[in-house]
C-alpha cells in the first residue's frame, strides 16, 4: 500500500479534491503519491426537440476520456455504465473519482459502486475551479463539434462525438 491508500481508505465522508489532497491538486506531485485521478460529469446537448446526455470519465493525468456513455435522459444508468467502464480500467483503491454535486453522483448506488474501488470526491459549492478541466473539455467539444455544425438528430450528434 502507498501512503495515500492508507490515508484515504480511513475516510468515509465525501471530500473535495483540493481539501483531501492539496499536494496533488496543485500538481506538486511527490513520488509516494500513486493515484489515478479522474473526473466525471454529464452534459446536455439539445438537437431540435431532442436531448442527448453525454457522461465522460476523464483521466486527469493525461486528459484522456477513459470511459463514456450517452443517454436521452439523465438517469442513473447514464453514469452507471460509464463508471463500470472506467473502474474496469483502474486498480482497486488507487483512484479518486471526482464529480459535481449532481443528483446522479449523490445516490447510495453511486457510493456503493465506488466502495473499495475508488474514493468519491465532490465539487465544493460555489467553486467552479474543481471541475475546470472537464468544463474546458466540454467547451472545446461544443465549439469544435456542436456549435460549428447543425445536426438533424441526436444519433448524428452522438456519432460525431
For residues 105 and 122, the answer to whether their CB atoms sit within 8 Å is yes
Most confidently predicted of 45-49, 106-110, 130-134: 45-49
The model's pLDDT over 44-91, given as tens digits with 9 standing for 90+, comes to 899 999 999 999 888 887 888 889 999 999 888 999 999 999 888 877
Length of the chain: 161
DSSP 3-state assignment of 56? strand
* 25-35 burial: b if 16+ Cβ within 10 Å, else e: beeeeeeeeeb
Higher pLDDT, 123 or 60: 60
Amino acid at each position: 500500500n502507498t501512503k495515500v491508500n492508507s490515508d484515504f481508505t480511513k475516510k468515509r465522508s465525501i471530500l473535495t479534491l483540493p481539501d483531501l489532497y492539496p499536494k496533488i491538486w496543485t500538481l506538486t506531485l511527490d513520488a509516494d503519491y500513486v493515484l489515478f485521478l479522474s473526473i466525471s460529469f454529464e452534459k446536455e446537448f439539445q438537437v431540435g426537440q431532442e436531448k442527448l446526455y453525454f457522461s465522460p470519465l476523464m483521466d486527469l493525468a493525461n486528459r484522456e476520456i477513459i470511459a463514456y456513455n450517452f443517454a436521452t435522459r439523465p438517469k442513473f444508468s447514464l453514469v452507471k455504465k460509464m463508471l463500470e467502464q472506467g473502474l474496469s480500467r483502474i486498480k482497486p483503491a488507487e483512484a479518486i473519482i471526482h464529480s459535481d454535486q449532481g443528483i446522479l453522483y449523490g445516490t447510495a448506488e453511486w457510493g456503493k459502486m465506488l466502495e473499495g474501488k475508488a474514493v468519491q470526491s465532490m465539487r465544493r459549492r460555489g467553486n467552479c475551479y474543481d471541475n475546470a478541466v472537464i468544463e474546458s473539455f466540454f467547451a472545446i467539444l461544443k465549439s469544435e463539434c456542436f456549435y460549428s455544425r447543425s445536426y438533424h438528430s441526436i444519433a448524428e450528434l452522438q456519432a460525431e462525438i
